Amino acid sequence: MARQWRKTGLPFRFKPANRIVDAPPAPADTAPPRGTATLAKLCSLVVDLIRGKRVWVSTEEREALSPMIDLGYLQCESGFQESSTHFLCHCSHPTLFEFYFFYRWLPEHGQRFRPRRELSSQAR
């Protein structure tokens, strides 16, 4: 008798994680306020969008992705309220979006996300 994993070729049962939520993420009172979107967070959102997931993005992240929204690669809907700070986005053209983000947008806008060196008060 053959084992189940031999039929699929995987040693485990694959069950993809479903990170789609109906409500935008609740603001964490304990976390410090985030001034701008980080490049790591933006890239993880882009990867989820390319994989076909619907993700919630903040206002700063939506502004960073606005060229792709203008081209029609992304569609964003506001949350439950008109003055929502999070937007539910999905990708309509994953391949074009992936190419545009990694080969066009990121080389031009990547310097915005580089960490700035702060001069210490005891500089020599």
Distance of alpha carbon 96 from alpha carbon 103, whole angstroms = 10
Asked if the structure places residue 18 within a domain, the reply is: no
Q: What's the pLDDT score for residue 73? A: 93
pLDDT at 116 over 90: no
Identify whether 82 is part of a domain: yes
Q: Is residue 22 part of a domain?
A: no
Q: What is the pLDDT of residue 34?
A: 46
**What is the predicted pLDDT for the residue at 91?**
92
Structural domain boundaries enclosing 59: 37-110
Alpha-carbon distances, residue 4 vs 8, 16, 17, 49 (angstroms) = 7, 18, 21, 32
Tell me if 116 is assigned to some domain: no
Q: Which residues pair with 77 in a beta bridge?
A: 88
Burial of 69 from C-beta contacts in 10 A (0-12 / 13-18 / 19+): middle
Q: Is residue 29 part of a domain?
A: no
The pLDDT tens digits of the residues spanning 24-65 come to 555 554 443 444 578 888 999 999 999 999 999 988 899 999
pLDDT at position 100: 93
Q: Is 14 part of any domain?
A: no
Write the DSSP string, the chain.
---HHHHHS-SS---------SSPPPPPSSSPPP-S--HHHHHHHHHHHHTT--EEEEHHHHHHTHHHHHHTSEEEEE-SSTT-SEEEEEES-HHHHHHIIIIIIHHHHGGGGSPPPPPPTT--
The whole-chain average pLDDT of the chain stands at 74
Q: Does 97 fall in a domain?
A: yes
Name the domain count of the chain.
1
**For the whole model, what pTM was predicted?**
0.62
Position 71 in a domain: yes
